């Protein structure tokens, strides 16, 4: 009987609080960076495609998104070292400045080189905010509630995408590009006021893990590769869906760009709750399959109903894969490795988006958007191999830090 009582009391032990003062303060910079990023994510490619730079509409749009993601990828490689040397506050603040200030001068020229330069600076700033901010955020979430906490963070960052992604397209069409760019700049720059209240250093356990070691560790690279395949389609959707649907269907684009982040945000929350109870490993494969199915459906660009269903299916799979892969990767390292996990996961995100946008722009010029969407969905299925390998080779407890593996 005493054992039964002890067991019952431990099962009802209160969980550690999730919404601490520091996490709420961190939400301010998350909201600012996400709003700035998503307001311009579909607007800048459209601005580039109408600039008459001679690269063709698809090529110019793809190059704008590709430059943004390329700079982000480069920044993500160096951010962990910058954080180690200068601390979270300085790197996060610098990221918000680089994300916001260049947006103010975007509309000074329609030359493609100018647009690409602005995208490169903003991409570097975005890298600083997501890697430094992501590692800091993970350290503020109790390990027992990691999935739920990351899902909540996903909602906080997803709300701006839910509103700002379609709002940016609508504002650009009705008020002009200058208004959208100014709003994007203000969102990032205003969030700087929250940075001094955040920790500059966090005491962590375990041995630090470098980027190179992380890239050699299958427990981290398998989920990252799967997520990169899904992120590839995400970059294509936000860049080319406004160009792929008929010109008379502006309202459809707005609805679709609302549905995609809405379903992704919901899915991240559900995946986080499920992952804390049953483990996130079993969600990676279903998330990938849903994402690929939605992308395949986008080939039906002439059907408004099909497009909305397609982005909804894709968005749900995208949200599941986001939460599951990130939760898995954090669970497999000690706290000292959070910087590297943040860098690798965001590297997969942004490299996938950038490569997808550039390749799709080049490919669609020869095949048209329908075939390009269909082939993208098929290409995403190649990530089934690392997803299956990860599911088969990682022990059910899964949460063996990479520092303990031989």
Ranges in the chain, pLDDT < 70: 1-14, 51-58, 203-206, 247-250, 392-406
Which distant-in-sequence residues (6+ apart) come within 8 Å of 59 by Cβ?
Answer: 361, 362, 365
Chosen CATH of 17-404 out of 3.40.190.10, 1.20.1250.20, 3.30.1360.200, 3.20.20.100: 1.20.1250.20
Q: How far apart are CA 102 and CA 73, in angstroms?
A: 18
Predicted pLDDT of residue 12: 47
Q: How far apart are CA 76 and CA 125, in angstroms?
A: 10
pLDDT digits (tens, 9 = 90+) for 323-353: 999 989 988 888 778 888 888 998 898 888 8
Residue 76 confidence (pLDDT): 85
pLDDT, residue 406, reads 30
Q: Which pTM does this prediction carry?
A: 0.74
Dist CA 374 CA 357 (whole Å): 15
Q: What is the dihedral of CA 235, 236, 238, 242, to 10 degrees?
A: 160
pLDDT for the residue numbered 364: 83
The tokens of 268 are what? 């991240």
Q: Give the pLDDT score at 394.
A: 52
Q: How far apart are CA 239 and CA 338, in angstroms?
A: 30
- Whether 162 and 258 have beta carbons less than 8 Å apart is answered as yes
Q: Which residues contact 164 (CB under 8 A, 6 or more apart)?
A: 34, 35, 38, 39
Alpha helix segments (H runs only) across 298-368:
304-331, 338-367
∠ CA 109-114-118, rounded to 5°:
110
Domain ranges within the chain, ordered by starting residue: 17-404
């Amino acid at each position: 009987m005493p054992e039964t009582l002890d067991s019952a009391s431990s099962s009802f032990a209160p969980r550690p609080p999730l919404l601490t003062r520091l996490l709420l303060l961190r939400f301010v910079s998350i909201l600012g960076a996400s709003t700035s990023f998503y307001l311009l994510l579909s607007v800048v490619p459209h601005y580039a495609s109408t600039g008459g730079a001679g690269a063709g509409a698809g090529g110019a749009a793809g190059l704008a998104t590709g430059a943004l993601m390329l700079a982000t990828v480069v920044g993500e490689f160096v951010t962990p070292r910058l954080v180690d040397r200068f601390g979270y506050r300085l790197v996060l603040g610098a990221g918000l400045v680089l994300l916001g200030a260049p947006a103010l001068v975007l509309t000074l020229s329609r030359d493609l080189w100018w647009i690409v330069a602005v995208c490169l600076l903003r991409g570097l700033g975005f890298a600083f905010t997501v890697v430094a901010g992501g590692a800091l955020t993970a350290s503020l979430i109790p390990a027992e509630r990691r999935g739920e906490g990351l899902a909540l963070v996903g909602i906080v960052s997803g709300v701006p995408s839910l509103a700002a992604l379609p709002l940016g397209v609508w504002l650009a069409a009705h008020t002009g590009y200058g208004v959208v760019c100014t709003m994007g700049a203000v969102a990032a720059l205003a969030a700087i006021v929250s940075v001094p209240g955040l920790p500059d250093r966090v005491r962590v356990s375990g041995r630090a893990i470098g980027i190179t070691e992380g890239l050699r560790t299958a427990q981290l690279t398998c989920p990252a590769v799967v997520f990169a395949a899904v992120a590839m389609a995400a970059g294509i959707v936000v860049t080319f869906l406004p160009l792929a649907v008929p010109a008379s269907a502006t309202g459809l684009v707005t609805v679709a760009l609302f549905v995609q982040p809405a379903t992704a945000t919901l899915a991240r929350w559900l995946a986080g709750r499920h992952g804390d109870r049953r483990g996130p490993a079993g969600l990676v494969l279903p998330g990938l399959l849903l994402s690929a199915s939605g992308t395949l459906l986008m080939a039906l660009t002439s059907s408004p109903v099909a497009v909305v269903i397609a982005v909804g299916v894709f968005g749900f799979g995208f949200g599941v894969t986001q939460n599951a892969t990130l939760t898995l990767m954090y669970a497999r390292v000690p706290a000292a490795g959070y910087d590297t996990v943040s860098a690798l996961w965001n590297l997969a995100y942004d490299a996938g988006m950038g490569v997808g946008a550039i390749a799709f722009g080049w490919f669609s010029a020869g095949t048209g958007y329908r075939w390009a969407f269909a082939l993208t969905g098929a290409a995403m299925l190649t990530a089934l191999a690392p997803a299956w390998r990860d599911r088969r080779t990682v022990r059910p407890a899964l949460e063996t830090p990479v520092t303990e593996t031989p």
